[in-house]
Amino acid sequence: GTGADNNLYINQAIVFIEDAIQYRSINHRVDSKSLWLYRWYYSRTCQWILSLTITIILALAFVEKPSSLTITSDVRYRLPAWNPPCGLTESIELLCFLVFMVDVSVKSYLIGWEEFWKNKWLMAYILTLIVSLTDWIVSLSFFCTENVRIRRILRPFFLLQNSSMMKKTLKSINSTLPEMASVVLLLAVHLSLFTMFAMLLFARTKDDQQDKEWVGYFRNLPDSLTSLLVLLTTANNPDVMLPAYSKNRAYSVFFILFTVLGNLFLMNLLTAIIYNQFRGYLLKSVQSSLFRRRLGIRAAFEVLSSLKETPANAQQSYVSIGALLQVLQKVEMDSRCKQAIMRSLKMCSCDQLSAAQFQKLFEELDKDAIKQHPPSPQYRSHFLQKMQFAFGHPYFGYLGNVVALANIVSICVVLVMDADKQPSERDDFFLGAINCFFILYYLLEMLLKILAMGLKRYLSYPSNRFDGLLTVILLILEIATFAVYGFPHPGWRPEFMGLLSLWDMVRLVNMLIVFRFLRIIPNMKFMALVVTTLLDLVKNLRAFAGILVVVFYAFAITGIMLFKGAVVPLGNTRKKCDFVALLGHFEAEIIYCLLYLPFVNLICRWAKIYFVAWWLISSVIWVNLFIALLLENFIHKWDRRCHREPLSDIEYQRTVELMFRDVLEEPTEEELMEKLHQHPHLQLCR
Amino acid sequence: GTGADNNLYINQAIVFIEDAIQYRSINHRVDSKSLWLYRWYYSRTCQWILSLTITIILALAFVEKPSSLTITSDVRYRLPAWNPPCGLTESIELLCFLVFMVDVSVKSYLIGWEEFWKNKWLMAYILTLIVSLTDWIVSLSFFCTENVRIRRILRPFFLLQNSSMMKKTLKSINSTLPEMASVVLLLAVHLSLFTMFAMLLFARTKDDQQDKEWVGYFRNLPDSLTSLLVLLTTANNPDVMLPAYSKNRAYSVFFILFTVLGNLFLMNLLTAIIYNQFRGYLLKSVQSSLFRRRLGIRAAFEVLSSLKETPANAQQSYVSIGALLQVLQKVEMDSRCKQAIMRSLKMCSCDQLSAAQFQKLFEELDKDAIKQHPPSPQYRSHFLQKMQFAFGHPYFGYLGNVVALANIVSICVVLVMDADKQPSERDDFFLGAINCFFILYYLLEMLLKILAMGLKRYLSYPSNRFDGLLTVILLILEIATFAVYGFPHPGWRPEFMGLLSLWDMVRLVNMLIVFRFLRIIPNMKFMALVVTTLLDLVKNLRAFAGILVVVFYAFAITGIMLFKGAVVPLGNTRKKCDFVALLGHFEAEIIYCLLYLPFVNLICRWAKIYFVAWWLISSVIWVNLFIALLLENFIHKWDRRCHREPLSDIEYQRTVELMFRDVLEEPTEEELMEKLHQHPHLQLCR
């Protein structure tokens, strides 16, 4: 019937607009039931359950058997980690797998059979699930005593496949790989040529006294390779050349040449390549997001225009405003955007919208969220007005900053004076009195500011929220201190007691004050720019961080599995290996596993390869990706700063999409329509 | 008289064109005598003498008294350095000063009195000379026993002021300083806040067992600052956090936060800022070079157009081709360019040139030098033609590369087999036979290639020159070996004798073969791109390297002067300090002077400041400048590679000017004329 048809069209439009908002692909089934399933699947609850499941399955590693998560990492002091009984973690895992199976079936159903075969991510998802389940069954049939658990290494895949941003980023990284591989190959050639050269140069001679370099670093091929590889990370920088250098200064030419070529040229070339390649790909992915948004809006327009109530128009299709309003009421979107669109709709005099008008209406979605602070209260009393003027004035804020600086300086003075004293010799009176005074000032400042600005306006500034929160915490801590130990007086030296001793509490108060000092930053122009760049970067970095977590998790699990049996007996070495595996600082691995582990020869062969791989991925590639993103972000921001002066009282929320807006190309009508006609499930009337 | 006037105009035109070629300013005196002096001053001989003087005065440091230039740096083995008698180096110095005084007087005279007062570089030059001479007199009156010699620190200034490119680069760096200072300030704030935080976190407690972190790294304010500063260089990366980490894993959060914020964000922000700022300034300086060139050409046109022989033209000025030919014959310039200009002149049908035509004629100067290889010889004999086809074919080159690879692999195998053997156990027969075979092949390859290409064409390729030279050296070394020790036979193990033992000689031969392997690089496309980028970079880096030398020289001399008296008695420490001062690897200093020197407390205070300054300048700023230049260069090159396919047989010689050519703006006629009318010494007729 027409009513049912109309209803279907309305529902399709709703879903397409929601797709556009979330930058999702519109290539899914569009019949009534599928649309219901689709909206249910992308509802907040469902997505939240999915995220929770992913978190749980990743977090399992911390309680599972070969984990070493205890407070201290020192094997001498630490208690044995809690060992969950066989079947506990396994049943949680099974629950997670069940959720994932529902997830993959819904996803596969929604995109349809044909699309499913083209989607490699879904195939990999199913494969991962099958392997994991098989491994799970094997695990249970051995009563959890088996050593190799493949499914653990596969776990981060669930995190990866759930984030479209991460998949996009991974695709970008993937496209950069050939170039990176070339440089890594060049690095390998560089390394091997210099290794040969070093072995020829520092060969064994008759005189054992002269052989220190050979004995220490170039005894055989693996040793030489290792020495020079570590030199590439600059971890053993002067040590490796000291024996040769003390024999003849000219030998240093070899090492300098190696370092300059390897570190300065090749490593930075990697930065240049990644920056150059990645710049384009990031833009491209943002461009495709924009295309998805425009496509979703256009699809909504097309289905709405085929509503039977619209008068058939041979030349151009139109959408009635009534239908759009009906759709808008049911669409889940940011209320600010919705209101803005409604407002524009009401201002529109006509009662039909063309495709261009329709598209323009939804451009509100691309706009910066402009945040308006609520107004200050209007006081009637003259005195209050004066107060408001005085304490709302920027100078009052500057005074607060000066006081915070004074507080920092006084803490510093106390620290320097107390540095070498035994705890029993220390007199905490001075610190206590200072804290008391400054906290009172901060409290007063907060109250006066609230008086001047009104609570709502005060809280609308993030810096004030930060300030206020810290002040309240400081106040509570201070009151607690006084309640337990009384007011400070000369010779005030309370004993250590309970969970938090006074000493700890005073320290805690002072640490918080150090943080409070950060409020000075927005007042300095350049610092503010830098800090906002960094904050933007953190936003844009989520996808990268996710991928790093994925890689790190896989590496940590592999490391634990590889070195578990072999390393446990060697107390001290174990500590270090486990430390590096979980911490992942590349210098840590390189230094520890290449300098300390050689004593443990068996493990070291594997450890070397493992750590070199980790160093390449985490340090070389990831750090360079980070630099590329930072360069991109900073240069864009810097250029924009020169273009326009920032308006006061307005804060922009920038995302990676907005950053590139001025260089993005709008998709043309033809491209959109061509893509729409390729939709596997949607049959357009015309 | 008119003849004398005409002669002056011709001379002026010659000098202006030479100025344009060398990108020199044209703001100098233009009367006949000054022009003669100007050409004499900028003649090759004069400039060569000046460069030699600068080299000599800089090299003096290696023979002067507190120098430690000996073959070995080990204080136990080294002989006392040669100590020149008082007055020897001083008289050489005086000679250099005399040359500099002539230099500065000529320069000052040539630019004229008014310009002199505006030229800060010349003022600084004179000041430096006065201070140096005063110091020299003081030195002689103390019979060279005085300790502080200021003039040594000033010496690199002479290098700096003589290079316009270095002055330009310094100006660019100078403009970037405010931004850099902001980030360094941010780094300082970051460091001090975290230091305070660390001191509060790792305070002394009652239990001495728990205090390891405090004892080791955070005992007092200077210690804490040092620990965190060194952590910023990642030199003490995991060590500094191990005691705290083994107490409680949560402490690692502090260190990770510090490293991520400091190393990943702030340090890379410095890269971003320098890249962003420097990009503009490099372009600007190239733009100003272009302006100087256009201005010189235009000035030459103007003076030539006022020659009396030219018919007066009210509307436009013209230059007769005869006058230009007269000028061109006397101008010193690249013969290729000269010929190209002459050729265009002859092809020109008119006998007068307008300003635009004149300017266009000299655009030849901006063009890439296109190098055409001479043709192969034409053989009549059928056999020789076939030989020529076979050995001139690229496949023959590939075969050579395969042989070189085989050679490398065989050396590698021998190295691995011989690695652990005593020299007395080694049998050099295999290596000797391999070398003999491969060198014969290389010789044959060279001869056949010369046969196929002809000697001239063979030598016109740099890769062939490199190959040929190495082959000849290898051949000489091999013949020398055979002459001394006879042909290799099993058990061939000649004794060590003379200056170069056989063992050394064979090693030397093999090292050269390792180099020869590099000829493979141009055959791999990506590697060729990378290598040409690097070679370009080296060309463009000369100014940077010069500035680094200047800074390094000043630092080394300061270091020697500061730590001379204090460190000499402490044998081992001395070695290290001297090592780092002369070598200048930042990790070297940081590790050695902050980890080893703390035992020598007196020096350490000064050493810390000295080395932190050196670390900031050499490693942080210079390395970032380098990365900026590399990024710039690589991205330009990469973009160009996509634009056009490289033509075979044509090699471009790229300079920093050419790199930016597509973004440079041509100066307008008005700008040029306005600048010409501001010339302090040239009065134009109109």
Q: Produce one character per residue of B145-182: b if its CB has 16 or more CB atoms within 10 Å, e if not.
A: eeeebebbbbbbbbbbbbbbbbbbbbebbeebeebbeb
Distance CA A240, CA A226 (A): 11
Confidence at residue A557, expressed as pLDDT on a 0 to 100 scale? 74
Give Cα separations from B349 to A484, B317, B321, B328 (angstroms). Answer: 104, 18, 10, 18
Residue A651 three-state SS: strand
Question: A552 pLDDT band (50/70/90 cuts)?
Answer: confident
- Looking at residues B110-115, what average pLDDT do you find? 85
Q: Does A237 touch chain B (CB under 8 A)?
A: yes
CA atoms within 13 A on the CB side of B497: 6
Residue with tokens 């220390």: A426
Binning pLDDT at 50, 70 and 90, where does residue A543 land? confident
CB < 8 Å from B in window 207-226 of A: 219-221
H or E stretch including A431? Answer: helix A429-453
Instruction: Name the pairing type of β-strands A352-353 and A319-320.
Output: antiparallel
Q: Are A89 and A144 in contact (CB under 8 A)?
A: no
pLDDT of res. A175: 78
Beta-strand relationship, A352-353 and A371-372: unpaired
Whether A293 shows a pLDDT value over 80: the answer reads yes
Query: How many beta-carbon pairs below 8 A join chains A and B?
Result: 221
At A36, the pLDDT band (50, 70, 90 cuts) reads very high
pLDDT digits (tens, 9 = 90+) for B565-582: 444 333 344 344 443 444
At position B326, the amino acid (one-letter code) is Q
pLDDT in tens, B282-318: 677 778 888 888 899 989 988 888 876 555 555 677 8
Residue B4 tokens read as 């004398």
Helix (H) or strand (E) holding B145: none
Q: Do B415 and A221 touch (CB under 8 A)?
A: yes
How distant, in Å, are the alpha carbons of A400, B537, B657 from that of B531?
A: 57, 10, 20
Nearest by CB: B585 against A238, A511, A583: A238
Q: Is the dihedral of CA A221, A226, A231, A232 positive or negative?
A: positive
Quick one: average pLDDT of A590-597? 40
Q: CB-based contact (8 Å) between B572 and chain A?
A: no
Question: A-chain residues within 8 Å CB-CB of B69?
Answer: 249
CA-CA distance, B271 to B624, in Å (whole number)?
5
Asked if A73 and A579 count as a contact pair (C-beta separation under 8 A), the reply is: yes
Please, which residues bridge with residue A320 across strands? Answer: A352
Residues of B in contact with A434 (CB under 8 A): none
By three-state DSSP, how is residue A285 classified?
helix
Structural contact between residues B668 and B295, judged by C-beta atoms closer than 8 angstroms: no
Per-residue model confidence (pLDDT) at position B37: 93
Q: How far is B268 from chain A (nearest CA, A)?
A: 6
Inform me whether the pLDDT recorded for B238 exceeds 70: no
d(C-alpha A151, C-alpha A129), whole Å: 9
| pLDDT at site B491 | 59
Hey, how many other C-beta atoms are within 10 angstroms of the C-beta on B221?
A: 16
- In sequence order, what are the residues at sequence separation of 6 or more whose Cβ sits closer than 8 angstroms to the Cβ of residue A161? A121, A124, A125, A167
Among candidates A245, A530, A635 on the partner chain, residue whose Cβ is nearest the Cβ of B186: A530
User: CA distances (Å), A663 to each of A130, A471, A644, in order?
Assistant: 44, 44, 17
Distance CA A374, CA B137 (A): 75
- Look up residue B666 and give its DSSP letter: P
Cα–Cα distance measured from residue B20 to residue A574, given in angstroms and rounded to the nearest whole number: 69
CA of B574 vs chain A CAs: smallest distance (Å):
13
A3 close to A304: Cβ distance less than 8 angstroms: no
What are the tokens at B321? 């081709």
Q: What pLDDT is recorded for position A47?
A: 92
Mean per-residue pLDDT, A645-665: 54
Q: Kindly identify which residue of chain A lies nearest to residue B639, measuring between CA atoms.
A: A276
Are A615 and A588 within 8 A, CB to CB? no
Task: Please tell me if residue B533 touches chain A, with a CB cutoff of 8 Å.
Answer: yes
pLDDT digits over B196-205, tens only?
A: 888 877 776 6
Alpha-carbon gap: A616 to the closest alpha carbon of chain B (Å) = 16
**pLDDT tens figures, B122-152:** 999 999 999 999 999 988 888 877 767 788 8
Q: Give the pLDDT band of residue A398 (cuts 50, 70, 90).
A: confident
- Look at residue B76 and tell me whether its pLDDT is greater than 70: no
**Distance, in angstroms, between B556 CA and closest chain A CA?**
16
**Cα–Cα dist B280/A635, whole Å:** 12
- Stretch (H or E) spanning B543: helix B542-567
Beta bridge partners of B650: B372
Q: Which residues of B touch A202 (CB under 8 A)?
A: none
pLDDT score, position A130 = 94
CB-based contact (8 Å) between B501 and chain A?
no
Residue B645: HSE in the Cβ half-sphere, 13 Å Cα cutoff = 3
Handedness of CA B524, B526, B527, B528 (dihedral sign): positive
Provide the H-helix boundaries in A370-428. Answer: 382-392, 394-418
Query: Which candidate in B210, B234, B267, B590 is best for mutational testing of the A interface (most A CBs within 10 A)?
Result: B234
Contact of B390 with chain A, judged by CB distance below 8 Å, is answered with no
Phi-psi category of residue B143: left, alpha or beta, with phi > 0 → left and psi -120 to 50 → alpha? left
- pLDDT surpasses 90 at B88: no
pLDDT band at B642 (very low <50, low <70, confident <90, very high): low
Taking alpha carbons only, the member of A59, A66, A69 closest to residue A158 is: A59
Asked if residues B480 and B505 have their Cβ atoms less than 8 Å apart, the reply is yes
Rounded Cα distance between B465 and B480, Å, is 22
Best to test chain A binding among B67, B71, B73, B260 (most A CBs inside 10 Å) = B73
Which of chain A's residues have a Cβ under 8 Å away from the Cβ of B594?
none
Classify residue A537 by burial, with Cβ atoms within 10 Å: 0-12, 13-18, 19+.
Answer: buried
CA distance B196 to A405: 13
Query: CB-CB: which of A196, A206, A408 is closest to B412?
Result: A196
Per-residue pLDDT tens over the stretch B160-172: 888 877 887 788 7
Query: What are the backbone dihedrals phi and psi of residue B372, each rounded to the nearest 5 degrees, phi first?
Result: -100, 130
Check if the beta carbon of residue A474 is closer than 8 Å to that of residue A439.
yes
Q: From the list A186, A259, A514, which residue is nearest B530 (CB)?
A: A186
The SS3 of residue B512 is helix
CA nearest neighbour of B155 among B58, B87, B61, B52 = B58
B425-457 tens-digit pLDDT: 666 677 778 888 888 898 998 899 888 888 888
Number of H helices, E strands in chain A: 31, 4
Of residues A368 and A652, which shows the higher confidence score?
A368
Rounded to an integer, the average pLDDT of A322-347 is 84
Identify the residue whose tokens are 């090299």: B59
Residue A260, C-beta contacts closer than 8 angstroms, at least 6 positions apart: none
Residue scoring higher pLDDT (A407 or A62): A407
> Do the beta carbons of residue A309 and residue A320 sit within 8 Å?
yes
Q: Chain A contact for B535, CB < 8 A?
A: no
Model confidence at A78: pLDDT above 80 = no
Nearest to B324 by CA among B350, B342, B340: B342
Residues B70 and A393: their CA atoms lie apart, in Å, by: 68
- Rounded to the nearest integer, the mean pLDDT of chain B is 76
Determine the pLDDT at residue B128.
93
Write the CA distances from B678 to B28, B115, B286, B674, B683, integer angstroms. 12, 12, 22, 6, 9
pLDDT tens column, A11-25: 889 999 998 888 888
Q: Are B28 and B42 in contact (CB under 8 A)?
A: no
Instruction: Looking at the complex, report in whole angstroms how far the Cα of residue B597 sits from the nearest Cα belonging to chain A.
Output: 15
Cβ-nearest to B73 among A245, A416, A527? A245
Query: Residue A45: its pLDDT value, please?
Result: 92
Tell which B residues from 167 to 206 touch A, by Cβ distance under 8 Å. Answer: 179, 182-183, 186, 193, 196-197, 199-201, 203-206
Whether chain B has a CB inside 8 Å of the CB on A637: the answer is no
Q: Does A605 touch chain B (CB under 8 A)?
A: no
Indicate which of A249, A411, A414, A424 best probes the interface with B, i.e. most B CBs within 10 Å of its own CB.
A249
Asked if the model's pLDDT at residue B98 lies above 90, the reply is yes
Predicted TM-score of the model (pTM): 0.73
Residue A94 Cα distances to A34, A64, A135, A257, angstroms: 27, 15, 11, 56
pLDDT at position B418: 75
In degrees and rounded to multiples of 5, residue A108 shows phi and psi of: -65, -45
Q: What confidence tens digit (pLDDT) does each residue in B476-504 have?
A: 888 877 777 666 666 555 554 444 566 66
CA of residue A222 relative to chain centroid, distance: 37
What are the chain B neighbours of A193 within 8 Å (beta carbons)?
A: 514, 517-518
- Give the Cα separation of B220 and A413 in Å (integer): 11
Residues of B in contact with A273 (CB under 8 A): 634
Compute the C-alpha angle B433/B436/B442, nearest 5°. 140
* Cβ proximity of B28 and B34 under 8 Å: yes
User: Do the chains contact at A585 and B204, CB–CB below 8 Å?
Assistant: no
- Ranges assigned E (strand) in B203-320: 319-320
Please tell me if residue B108 touches chain A, with a CB cutoff of 8 Å.
no
- Interface test with chain B among A192, A196, A431, by most B beta carbons within 10 Å: A196
Assigned token pair, A75: 């094997």
List chain A residues with CB under 8 Å of B502: none
Residues facing residue A650 across a β-bridge: A372
- Residues A459 and A381: their CA atoms lie apart, in Å, by 24
Cβ contacts of B416 on chain A, cutoff 8 Å: 220-221
- Each residue of A220-248: pLDDT tens digit? 777 788 788 877 776 666 677 777 777 77
Exposure string for B425-444, b = 16+ CB within 10 A, e = fewer:
ebebebbbebbbebbebbee
